[in-house]
Amino acid sequence: MRNAGEAKVTYKRVMLKISGEALMGDQGYGLHPPTVQRIAEEVKSVHDLGVEICMVIGGGNIFRGLAGAAQGMERTTADYMGMLATVMNALGMQAALESLGVFTRVISAIPMDQVCEPYIRRRAVRHLEKKRVVIFAAGTGNPYFTTDTAATLRANEMACEAIFKGTKVDGVYDKDPKKHADAKRYDTVTFDEVLQKHLGVMDASAIALARDNDLPIIVFSLDEPGGFRGILAGEGTYTRVQG
């Protein structure tokens, strides 16, 4: 059992990946300010441990590229619209974090200089070294790639020690625990098992990228108050996806 002091050493730099839907609260669309604020407070509590944090937030609460493409829109256009949605979420999270006194930078893979910085790897690393939270927006800047893949790519580029995937459930299960009472949670699972069993942790390209670079993914519940900090302190329930 690690204590909070040792957590600083165990994970010096991490990537937090959350879905856009996590920001909706009980609404069916958009941003729910109290929910955004609650997640920002979780991030601040980990930041206060001395951990360097980058974030990637999905855009599904505003627009999902695949859904747009399914309704007849050209996939490339739909994906770019989804990327722009992630910028809106990133700016909302930046505002919430800065209201708590946490210096935050939004860095977009699609240049839009009036609202955020363009992606320059060395500059992003420098922000982390200065203990700023860095939110990577607009995915990879390319269509056909999800924000899961973007999170894994940026985590590797930033030399993060783990990806923390915040979800609605407290880990990876063999089937949907909300539909099946006998669903079993894995304490640890390999990347290959995730791919073979279609466990739905992240999309296949993100899992393969994490596997090839030996980057563990820790799946935990974002709805559990104090969950993010607790796991860094060696407590709580989660699943570790590793090689």
Mean pLDDT of residues grouped by 10 in the chain (243 residues)?
A: 47 96 91 96 96 97 87 94 97 98 98 97 98 98 97 98 94 89 94 94 96 97 90 88 93
Q: How many CB atoms lie within 10 A of CB 113?
A: 8
* Percent of the chain whose pLDDT exceeds 70: 96
pLDDT of residue 141: 97
Residues 158 and 128 sit within 8 Å (Cβ to Cβ) = yes
The two three-digit tokens of residue 111, written as one number:
């240049």
Give the Cα separation of 217 and 181 in Å (integer).
25
The two three-digit tokens of residue 93, written as one number:
């999270």
Does the predicted model carry a pTM greater than 0.75?
yes
The two three-digit tokens of residue 11, written as one number:
């994970």
Q: Of 220, 242, 243, 237, whose CA–CA distance to 42 is shortest?
A: 220
pLDDT of residue 1: 41
